Amino acid sequence: MGDYLPQITFVPNLVSALNVTCRAFGGDGGSVLMQVPNYPPFLSAAANNHQTIVAAEVVYKRDENGIIRYEIDFDAFEAAITPDTKLFLFCNPHNPVGRVYQRWELERLAEICLRHDLIVCSDEIHCDLLTPGQTHIPFASLSPEIADRCITLMSPSKSFNMPTLDVAFAITTNADIAKRFNQAAAGFVSHPSGLGYAAAQTAYTECQPWLDEALAYLTANRDYLVDYVQQNLPGIYTTCPEGTYLAWLDCREANLEPDPYHFFLEKARVGFNNGKDFGPGGEGFVRLNYACPRATLTEALERVRVALQG
Ligand SMILES: Cc1ncc(COP(=O)(O)O)c(C=O)c1O
């Protein structure tokens, strides 16, 4: 067991911490477990460290209003684990599918990770970006046994819109995990700048009112977007994100050539993220970031509507 003193290692950004984590815990030629579709640097962190990805696809469900919601297939999750899997890279809230996992879901994942003796790296960068009624539960808070095998990655960069200030951090209560993380980072990853530390401290101690306003704006943008897609974009379906500011649009029924990403880029001059970069389950989807002024969102959606009409 760890000594329960939280150990915090500061790094300039979270993506470098994902790579350090694979280096430290993924094992030589080992495999890294992750849910897909997922934020592309999850996939590249394993590949950069010559590790195989063992992917557990989250399950696509669509309700009678055309709203997509993903669920975990726990049997598929467990079945993806191989004898050389040492590490589970977890994204909660889940980019790109917008889920904020509930306690019972986290507990079932935790139970599987314990049984297979996995280290869990929980990327919780979107933890403050929740819609009303949602609660973020840190994976490491589930139990002392889970905390003892968990490293949590966080940063103020999403919530307070300050990625260029370069500050993120890794937290664990297990001294051995902290040591291995720090050893893997040594010589590769620098520290945040003084400005980054100061900005993080200011964000966390003084900027809650700003965040509250931003969240209200984001929720209104989300609702506008979901309604717009339902009313105006035939053949396109969206998630109604519980967290993050990212919508995940299923364009498969619209049959867009050569693929939805290039279709919208060329015909609408709207740049989404290409779903196929998010791993299995991403083909035929695009990701839309609605953390922008409403006028920008409106114009993008209008252009998409017109492009779909041909
Ligand atoms: C899940 C997740 N992790 C990490 C990052 C990037 O963090 P950073 O800019 O600190 O590398 C993002 C940004 O989109 C993200 O969505």
Would you say the CB of residue 25 lies under 6 angstroms from ligand 1?
no
Q: What is the pLDDT along the chain (310 residues), one digit of tens a residue?
A: 445 577 999 999 999 999 999 999 999 999 999 999 999 999 999 999 999 999 999 999 999 999 999 999 999 999 999 999 999 999 999 999 999 999 999 999 999 999 999 999 999 999 999 999 999 999 999 999 999 999 999 999 999 999 999 999 999 999 999 999 999 999 999 999 999 999 999 999 999 999 999 999 999 999 999 999 999 999 999 999 999 999 999 999 999 999 999 999 999 999 999 999 999 999 999 999 999 999 999 999 999 999 999 8
Q: What is the pLDDT of residue 4?
A: 59
| Domain assignment present for 27 | yes
Query: Helices (DSSP H) in 233-293: which residue ranges?
Result: 260-263
Residues 178 and 236 in one domain: no
**Distance between CA atoms of residues 53 and 294, nearest Å:** 38
Asked if the structure places residue 2 within a domain, the reply is no
Residues whose CB falls within 8 Å of the CB of residue 246, separated by 6 or more in sequence, listed in order: 95, 96, 98, 287, 288, 289, 290
| Rounded Cα gap, residues 129 and 226, in angstroms | 17
Selection from 189, 181, 188 nearest residue 24 by Cα: 181
Residue 242 sits in the same domain as residue 191: no
| Mutational pocket test of ligand 1: of 9, 13, 15, the residue with most ligand atoms within 8 Å of the beta carbon | 15
The residue nearest atom 7 of ligand 1, judged by CA position, is: 14
Q: Is 17 in the pocket of ligand 1 (CB under 6 A)?
A: no
Cα 156–chain centre separation: 14
* Domain presence at residue 1: no
Q: Ligand 1 center to residue 307 CA distance, Å?
A: 31
Pocket flag, ligand 1, residue 153 (CB < 6 Å):
no
* 131 and 256 inside one domain: no
pLDDT digits (tens, 9 = 90+) for 269-301: 999 999 999 999 999 999 999 999 999 999 999
Cα distance between residue 102 and residue 94, in whole Å: 12
Note whether 157 and 249 are same-domain residues: no
Whether residue 106 has its Cβ less than 6 Å from ligand 1: no
Which residue, of 205, 220, 236, is where some domain finishes? 205
Instruction: Determine the pLDDT at residue 196.
Output: 95
Domain that holds residue 225: 209-309
Best mutation site among 94, 123, 125 for ligand 1, i.e. most ligand atoms within 8 A of its Cβ? 125
Q: Are residues 169 and 275 in the same domain?
A: no
CATH number for position 81:
3.40.640.10
Same domain assignment for residues 215 and 179 = no
pLDDT at position 6 is 79
- In terms of domains, do 108 and 226 share one? no
The tally of domains found in the chain comes to 2
Q: Is 58 exposed, middle or buried (0-12, 13-18, 19+ CB in 10 A)?
A: buried
User: For ligand 1, is residue 6 a contact (CB within 6 Å)?
Assistant: no
**Which residue, 205, 233, 252, sits at the end of a domain?**
205
